[in-house]
Amino acid sequence: MTTGLPNFFEYNLWANLRLLDFCEQLSDEQLDATMTGVFGSIREVLMHLFASEEGYAYSFTKTRPSSPLKEEDSFVGFEELRRRAQLSGKALIDIAKERDLGETFWLDGGVYECQAYIVALQAISHGVDHRSQIATLLAQQGIELPALDAWGYNDALHSKQ
């Protein structure tokens, strides 16, 4: 089996869905807690995370959902976030399998130049960063997030076999 960038996006989708499953069980108070140094509340971080992921997929496909997520919108709920995470996550996996990541992109209305692999790298690092922020918000409340790191992913892969 060949491994590569698609595996990173498979991990990213797994971690995002596991995060949503866990956060769905939290109380409103826990979801709305915030602290200095973190993007916002858990709800705000989740909206930002998945709005951004739709944007990364858009950079490649130039297609958006009929009503794209906007991080400033009201929280859309876990079912809708899960649906969108699956769509953008699967799109990024397919992109990693099929696209030339050496392609040049002009982002931000054509004023920002980068290679496609930079967008892919940003999508992965952005997810890790914000999942860590949610873990910090939860830790401050005495709540431990399940393992969302590579070791947790490996364990999940092996438990399916």
In this prediction, the residues of the chain whose per-residue pLDDT falls under 50 are: 1
* CATH of 5-62+72-151 among 3.90.1720.10, 1.20.120.450, 1.10.287.130, 3.30.70.120: 1.20.120.450
Domain-wise residue ranges, the chain: 5-62+72-151
**pLDDT value at residue 2:** 52
Task: Provide the pLDDT for residue 34.
Answer: 93
DSSP H helices, 3-149, are 5-23, 28-32, 42-61, 78-98, 116-139
Binding site members: 48, 126, 130
Instruction: Please enumerate, by residue number, every residue annotated as part of a binding site for a divalent metal cation.
Output: 48, 126, 130
pLDDT in the model for residue 87: 95
Output the pLDDT for position 136: 95
Count CB neighbours of 140 within 10 A: 12
